[in-house]
């Protein structure tokens, strides 16, 4: 299965904020507005792929970015896995389901912002 999302992936770990929980008055971490927007927009592209895959898969992500800014691929993979779980594409992102992320990479291409996700059964 190949999923094309015409958006540049955003990391969950960048620009987090600490706020006070209004109920408990204890500090809590929330995601950045940019990440929340990315997560919501991904939902539009992922709804038709809702399969709740619960068998071992290789998750190959190709992140096309428009500039040469340094990025951490592990943070991008973490964000994509969490989004795939949120929208029911995969049942969970634990090691029993996402066996590997072989072939994932970040590619600089001027003016191109896109995330391509390939999900292959571990047996293929």
Q: What is the pLDDT of residue 123?
A: 65
Q: What is the pLDDT of residue 97?
A: 94
36-55 per-residue burial string, b: 16 or more CB within 10 A, e: under 16: eebbeebeebbeebeeebee
Q: Supply the pTM of this predicted model.
A: 0.86
Please give the backbone phi and psi of residue 57, each rounded to the nearest 5 degrees, phi first. Answer: -135, 160
Please give the backbone phi and psi of residue 33, each rounded to the nearest 5 degrees, phi first. Answer: -60, -35
From first to last of the 124 residues of the chain, give the pLDDT tens digit.
999 999 988 888 776 778 788 888 898 887 778 889 999 999 999 999 999 899 999 999 999 999 999 989 999 999 999 999 999 999 999 999 999 999 999 999 998 999 999 999 976 5
Q: What is the pLDDT of residue 115?
A: 95
Domains of the chain are 2-13+31-121 (3.30.1330.70)
User: What does the alpha-carbon distance between residue 49 and residue 88 come to, in Å, rounded to a whole number?
Assistant: 8
């Amino acid at each position: 299965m190949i999923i094309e999302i015409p958006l540049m992936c955003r990391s969950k770990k960048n620009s987090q904020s600490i706020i006070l929980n209004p109920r408990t008055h204890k500090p809590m971490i929330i995601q950045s507005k940019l990440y929340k927007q990315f997560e919501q927009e991904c939902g539009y592209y992922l709804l038709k792929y809702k399969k709740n895959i619960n068998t071992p898969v290789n998750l190959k992500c190709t992140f096309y970015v428009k500039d040469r800014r340094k990025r951490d691929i592990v943070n991008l993979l973490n964000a994509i896995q969490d989004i795939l779980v949120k929208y029911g594409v995969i049942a969970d992102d634990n090691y029993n389901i996402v066996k590997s992320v072989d072939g994932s990479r970040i590619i600089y291409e001027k003016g191109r912002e896109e995330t391509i996700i390939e999900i292959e059964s571990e047996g293929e």
